[in-house]
Amino acid sequence: MERLKPLNDFIFKKTFGEEETKDNLIALFNAILSKKDIDKLVTLEIVENKELTPELIGDKTGIIDRKLRNKNLKGDKLQRWLSFFREDISTKELRELMDMDVDIRKAEEKIEYLSSDPKTLELYKARERSLHERANMISSAKNEGAPEKAIKVAEKIIIKGLSIDDIFELTDLPTQKVIELKEKMVQ
């Protein structure tokens, strides 16, 4: 079975952001804040439970609002948690982490449980598709903007009277496109 991505906001919320999983969140915060010379986190209050519902699956952000109380932290578990969140973690490495750290074991067991729930899997896959589509749209928009800029630069260079070869070299536009631009501007 394929491991669900723990950093998928839907899975993260289910693993760390619900009342019954707040121990996982406390352990994660303790690891993150362990470099500070402060006491260990003792309690955590989930202030607002913002659900990532099917209607919000395509939304650009998943929000999990949490409020901390008694920020007491010590220990150095951060590297283990960072490894846990890597998408390319091997099964062997994950098992080693789980053997080293009971909190990571609990979080991974929750993810394994979630991966067996058809409704959760459906929402997870929908969210992954939505994030992938959004990334593709952004990439396409960036790629579409580059030729437009090159054309504007080419037009300015044509006005300055440089050769087609110079324009091609400076803009990376196809030679035929540069010729068409020059002919259009001469008219």
| Per-residue pLDDT tens digits for 131-182 | 888 777 766 655 666 677 788 888 888 887 877 777 777 777 887 888 888 8
Q: What are phi and psi of 23, to 5 degrees?
A: -60, -35
Residue 107 and residue 150 in one domain: no
Higher pLDDT, residue 165 or 39:
165
What is the per-residue pLDDT for 52?
53
Place of tokens 């929750």: 110
Kind plus residue range of the DSSP H or E element containing 69:
strand 67-69
Look at residue 13 and tell me whether its pLDDT is greater than 50: yes
Containing structural domain, residue 168? 143-186
Residue 135 lies in a domain: no
In a domain, 127, yes or no: no
Residues 82 and 35: their CA atoms lie apart, in Å, by: 14
Instruction: Output the pLDDT for position 66.
Output: 41
Q: Is residue 62 part of a domain?
A: yes
Please give the pLDDT value at position 172. Answer: 77
Comparing 149 with 42, the larger pLDDT belongs to 149
* CB neighbour list of residue 123: distance below 8 Å, 6 or more residues apart: 10, 52, 54, 57
Residue 138 lies in a domain: no
0.95 exceeded by pTM: no
* Per-residue burial over 63-95, b = 16 or more CB atoms within 10 Å of its CB, e = otherwise: ebeeeeeeeebeeebeebbeebeeeeeeeeebe
Domain boundary among 98, 116, 134: 116
> Are residue 40 and residue 112 in the same domain, yes or no?
yes
pLDDT one-digit tens code per residue, 49-97: 555 555 555 554 444 444 333 333 245 577 788 888 888 888 998 898 8
Distant-in-sequence contacts of 14-20, Cβ < 8 A, 24+ apart: 14/110, 14/114, 14/120, 15/107, 15/110, 15/111, 15/114, 16/64, 16/107, 17/46, 17/49, 17/64, 17/66, 18/46, 18/49, 19/46, 19/49
**109/173 same-domain check:** no
Q: Which is higher by pLDDT, 34 or 174? A: 174
Residue with tokens 């999983």: 21
Q: What pLDDT does residue 127 have? A: 87
**Are both 147 and 112 inside the same structural domain?**
no
Residue 90 lies in a domain: yes
> Is 60 or 45 the better-scoring residue by pLDDT?
45
Do 103 and 158 lie in a common domain? no
Measured between alpha carbons, how far is 116 from 98 in angstroms, rounded to an integer?
A: 19
pLDDT range class, residue 102, cuts 50, 70, 90: very high
- Indicate the residue among 71, 98, 116 that finishes a domain: 116
Residue 3 lies in a domain: no
Cβ atoms of residues 173 and 150 within 8 Å:
yes
Q: What is the dihedral of CA 13, 80, 4, 48, to 10 degrees?
A: 0
pLDDT value of position 153: 82
* Residues 18 and 61 occupy one common structural domain: yes
d(CA 31, CA 132): 30
pLDDT of residue 107: 94
Q: Is residue 69 part of a domain?
A: yes
| Amino acid 139: pLDDT | 67
Same domain for 102 and 23: yes
Are residue 91 and residue 164 in the same domain, yes or no?
no
pLDDT at 82: 81
Same domain, 17 and 108: yes
For residues 87 and 158, membership in a common domain is answered with: no
103 and 148 both lie in a single domain: no
Looking at the 3D structure of the chain, how many domains does it have? 2
Poorest-pLDDT segment among 7-21, 71-85, 113-127: 71-85
167 and 86 co-located in one domain: no
Domain limit, last residue, from 67, 97, 116: 116
